[in-house]
């Protein structure tokens, strides 16, 4: 026993020295590197297991999707109200945001897109791999669906579908691949589905709207208001009688429900008593644990150090996971921002070039119109001078002819007198 007691304090300085020498930064970097390598192995070694969508037969299986459970429960009424508001949106709208490109859809278009996307990514002819990851709430209600798409070289994009808001978000390194190749094929599948079912998007959206309204009416039945007489401004007698009958029936139903709830209340009271007994047992166990802690006071230092080391490793793992996800998001965002900045610079340069050419064309047009007006004025002045010269020449000819006539007459007279 003396040897064992002496061995404990000899091991304690080694534990302290390990904690002091342990470098958190090196552990984070190592964990981050291992996490990225594991993620790369998952993407490179992932085998495409397509979802077989059968139109008529009963055979065929579906891909096992990775399901993530979120730490909340949806309010079904609020969820349905959001879907009802989505029915009033435009069928298809594209919006650029800092987190990626959004597809804002109405409820009918969203349901068609969800089905067509599942159909499209299940094709065996695709040359790239995908991972389908769905998310549920605590009640197993589907809230989100994510497609992680990658080819043999690198990641392409992530296609997130949010069921409650009828919204899609596309982000990643190569979003243009989705809009240039995948989305047109998905829209083509939607078109063929619409043609085969002989229903338009507006009709499907209206059908979804009516279904949601009927669901909300069933969940939230409103009390009908009595009719008001237009002539006298008082309630009609038959409506008052009906309302009184309905109120009496509701009171009877409430009374029966109260009577039915009495045994349940008694059962709950028994459960409360059982819980009180359990809490007493837990209290006794806590007291026993306290005594054990007092007895094991000599070994608390080693236990605290090991727990601290475990917590440190857990914290480093969580920090590294958060950092890896944040770095992946930052890489995607920086890549997206660089591409957007290059596109914006090119668009600005083209706009400036167009503005300069437009300004030059306007100046040239103004100069040509001014020159044409000046030429027209000069031509008009030349015409006026020519007409004046013609008039003067005609006047001179007339004066010369008149003078010659006078001279000839005078010459004839002089010759006659002689």
Token output for 260: 């039915």
Token output for 20: 């002091």
Closest CA to 183 of 241, 127, 113: 113
Q: How high is the pLDDT of residue 40?
A: 62
The answer to whether the beta carbons of residues 215 and 79 sit under 8 Å apart is: no
Q: Which residue has the tokens 């981050």?
A: 32
Cα torsion 178, 182, 188, 191: sign: negative
Q: How high is the pLDDT of residue 272?
A: 58
Q: How high is the pLDDT of residue 160?
A: 95
Q: How high is the pLDDT of residue 53?
A: 34
The pTM assigned to this predicted structure is: 0.41
Which residue ranges make up each domain of the chain?
Answer: 66-218, 237-295
pLDDT means per 10 residues, the chain with 418 residues, are: 46 45 72 73 45 35 64 86 91 89 93 92 78 88 90 84 93 90 92 89 91 88 48 42 55 62 62 64 60 53 55 60 63 69 83 83 84 86 87 85 83 74
Over the range 302-339, which residues count as b (16 or more CB within 10 Å of their CB) and which as e? Answer: eeeeeeeeeeeeeebeeebeebbeeebeeebbebbeee
Closest CA to 157 of 290, 332, 345, 312: 332
């Amino acid at each position: 026993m003396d040897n064992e007691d002496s061995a404990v304090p000899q091991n304690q300085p080694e534990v302290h020295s390990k904690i002091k020498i342990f470098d958190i930064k090196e552990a984070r970097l190592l964990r981050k590197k291992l996490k990225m390598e594991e993620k790369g192995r998952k993407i490179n070694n992932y085998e495409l297991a397509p979802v077989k969508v059968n139109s008529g037969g009963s055979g065929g299986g579906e891909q096992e999707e990775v399901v993530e459970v979120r730490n909340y429960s949806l309010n079904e009424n609020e969820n349905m109200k959001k879907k009802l508001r989505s029915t009033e949106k435009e069928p298809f709208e594209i919006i650029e945001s800092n987190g990626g490109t959004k597809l804002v859809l109405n409820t009918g278009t969203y349901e068609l897109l969800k089905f067509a996307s599942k159909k499209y990514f299940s094709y065996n002819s695709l040359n790239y791999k995908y991972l389908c990851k769905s998310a549920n709430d605590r009640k197993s209600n589907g809230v989100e669906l994510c497609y992680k798409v990658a080819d043999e070289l690198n990641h392409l994009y992530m296609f997130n579908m949010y069921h409650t808001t009828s919204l899609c978000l596309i982000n990643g390194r190569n979003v243009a691949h989705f809009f240039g190749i995948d989305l047109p094929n998905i829209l083509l599948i939607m078109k063929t589905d619409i043609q085969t079912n002989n229903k338009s998007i507006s009709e499907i959206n209206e059908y979804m709207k009516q279904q949601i309204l009927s669901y909300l009416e069933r969940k939230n039945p409103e009390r009908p208001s009595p009719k008001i007489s237009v002539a006298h401004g008082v309630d009609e007698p038959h409506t008052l009688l009906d309302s009184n009958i309905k109120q009496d029936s509701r009171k009877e139903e409430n009374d029966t429900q109260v009577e039915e709830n009495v045994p349940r209340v008694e059962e709950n009271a028994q459960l409360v008593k059982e819980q009180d007994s359990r809490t007493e047992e837990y209290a006794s166990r806590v007291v026993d644990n306290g005594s054990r802690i007092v007895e094991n006071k000599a070994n608390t230092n080693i236990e605290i150090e090991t727990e601290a080391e475990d917590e440190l490793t857990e914290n480093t793992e969580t920090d590294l996971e958060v950092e890896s996800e944040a770095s992946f998001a930052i890489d995607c965002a920086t890549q997206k921002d660089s591409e957007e900045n290059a596109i914006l610079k090119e668009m600005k340069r083209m706009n400036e070039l167009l503005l300069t050419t437009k300004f030059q064309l306007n100046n040239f047009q103004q100069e040509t119109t001014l020159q044409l007006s000046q030429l027209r004025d000069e031509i008009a002045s030349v015409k006026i001078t020519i007409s004046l010269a013609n008039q003067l020449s005609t006047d001179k000819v007339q004066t010369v002819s008149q003078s010659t006539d006078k001279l000839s007459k005078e010459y004839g007279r002089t010759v006659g007198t002689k």
